[in-house]
Copies of this chain bind each other. A is one copy, B any other.
Amino acid sequence: MSKPLQQLQERLGKITDLERISRLLSWDQQTMMPPAGSDHRADHLATLRRAAHELLIADETGRLLDELRPLEESLEPDSDDAALIRLTRREYEKAVRVPTDLRAEMAHASAQARPAWVKAKAESNFAIFLPALERNFELRQRYVACFEEVEEPYDILLDDFEPYTTTAEVREIFAEVKAGLVPLIGELRDVELNDSFLHGDFPVERQRRVTNDVVELFGFRPGTWRLDPTEHPFASGTGVDDVRITTHYDPETINSLFSTMHEYGHGLYSHQLPRELERLPTGNACSLGIHESQSRLWENLVGRSPRFWSFFYPRLQETFPEQLGAVEIEQFVAGINVVKPSLIRIKADEVTYGMHIILRFELEQDLVNGRVELRDLPRVWNERMQDYLGVEVPDDAHGVLQDTHWASGLIGYFPTYLLGSVMSVQIWEQVVEDIPDLEDQVERGEFGGLRDWLREHVHAYGRKFSPQETLERATGSRIDAKPYLAYLRAKYGAGVAA
């Protein structure tokens, strides 16, 4: 190996380590940390962020990248080394514009905003959160200002979550999705389906057992994962052999099952990233949109399908006999697929989910562009929920305070959820084409074929290519709303699910 390439890899290895350590600290903060530890944690995350940033923007990194230019040009563009140099150059050129102090402040402010958000949500009082939110937005404005002026400042934020993707491209896809969703939601608005059996008494201890069973069934290598309760489900981990997923247990519903499947999809992606690229940026996930395509695929295409439940429903009935013993499988599958405009994004059905995202995508742009003031957020939020979904927001906890993202400084993140949902259907259709008996496998509770397909066609690329190139390698096409809309219409258009 060339000496500069080796030096670059060593440097990137340290940066990757520091980033993964930050992930562990965030996981810990959301699952294990005594609440009073927030201030320590803010210092620690800022120090890690600073150290990683300094390693990336060091003159030495620039010098190595310059030295590696001839090598890069001589390599096959698809090769691991060419992809590594290309990706590092892109990340270096972005990072070098951002002062280390700003990076550290962004990490520090986000870690401190979290407890303010937790308190504000618990008391359903937006005012408690507003100062921390203003700080996070102000820091993002300063971050945007580090870059050359662009027509859409939101592009800069979006690129950190969905690289090589512009606001205009997202707007175009979302317009098409919205045009499909609005009439579909209208058609379904008056359909009455009984899902009352999904609300009642679902003891948390039993939910814990059954969510663990689902993870075991979907499958990770032994000794590589854990599942913990948290307020707001997420997936994390420190590498392919240390995957940590979380879920939220509500004693009155079985939503934990679907959030577990969702986070399993994220976790499997992390778990099947290319081991040979561990400790390199190319060994990371491609983008949050691609990540979300994986979580949505397991949650919706597998986890809300009649085939899956024909395998797993007896186990669920055994676990909750009082609630589900007398509910037929057809009723149950219809119940978990009821479409009904509602308040909470993470509990939304597949059809209305997109509208929650489109609302946030538009609102974030309005905030970044100064068309909406942060202090007016609750009012604007509530008006748009009325416009887009026809629902009345009773309080901030069920409105603008429901998500943790802005508290964590994640602005520009939300659109990746809907991009992922759209791509999940394109990927699923390709899997079905490549594995003709896939649905029979699902019905037998066998997931090895699906896992292997995803590893080979999606996960193995890591972050070597752009999201759209990765999708094209997996499915032959770039992002396309049509299969997604066709899937929704086929599944729900008759007005009855399943």
Contacts and interface: CB of A to CB of B under 8 A. Distances in A.
A140 to B, nearest CB: 24
A239 to B, nearest CB: 4
A446 interface: no
Interface in A223-266: 223-226, 238-239, 241-244
A47 B17 contact: yes
Interface stretch (A18-26, A125-133, A348-356): A18-26
B28 A44 contact: no
A94 interface: no
A292 to B, nearest CB: 24
Task: Name A's interface SS.
Answer: helix
A242 B33 contact: yes
A195 B17 CA distance: 51
Contacts of A25: 21, 24
B238 A36 contact: no
A20 B40 contact: yes
B34 A226 contact: yes
A32 interface: yes
Contacts of A114: none
Contact of A50 (B14, B33, B244, B278): B14
Contact of A239 (B17, B37, B47, B223): B37
A88 B28 CA distance: 31
Nearest to A279: B43
A35 interface: yes
Contacts of A279: 43
A230 to B, nearest CB: 13
B48 A21 contact: yes
A41 interface: yes
A371 interface: no
A99 to B, nearest CB: 16
B226 A36 contact: no
Given A238-B40, A279-B43, A223 B35 contact: yes
A456 interface: no
A157 to B, nearest CB: 27
B34 A28 contact: no
A330 interface: no
A35 B222 CA distance: 9
B241 A40 contact: yes
A18 B37 contact: no
A437 interface: no
Interface in A107-136: none
B32 A32 contact: yes
A28 B36 contact: no
A39 interface: yes
Contacts of A47: 13-14, 17-18, 21
Given A14-B50, A51-B14, A51-B51, A21 B44 contact: yes
Find the residue from A14, A40, A51, A244 having the highest chain B CB count within 10 A. Answer: A40
A45 to B, nearest CB: 9
Contacts of A48: 17, 21
A279 B34 CA distance: 19
A241 B38 CA distance: 8
A288 to B, nearest CB: 22
Given A14-B50, A21-B21, A25-B21, A34 B239 contact: no
Interface of A: 13-14, 17-18, 20-21, 24-25, 28, 32-37, 39-41, 43-44, 47-48, 50-51, 221-226, 238-239, 241-244, 278-279
22 contacts: A14-B47, A14-B50, A17-B43, A18-B47, A18-B51, A21-B21, A21-B25, A24-B24, A24-B25, A32-B226, A33-B242, A34-B226, A36-B221, A36-B224, A36-B241, A37-B238, A37-B239, A39-B239, A40-B239, A40-B241, A41-B238, A43-B279
Closest 5 pairs between A and B when the two form their complex, measured CB to CB: A37-B242, A40-B239, A17-B47, A36-B241, A36-B223
Given A17-B44, A39-B241, 16 more contacts: A14-B47, A17-B48, A18-B51, A21-B25, A24-B28, A34-B223, A34-B242, A34-B243, A36-B221, A36-B222, A36-B223, A36-B241, A37-B239, A40-B241, A40-B242, A43-B279
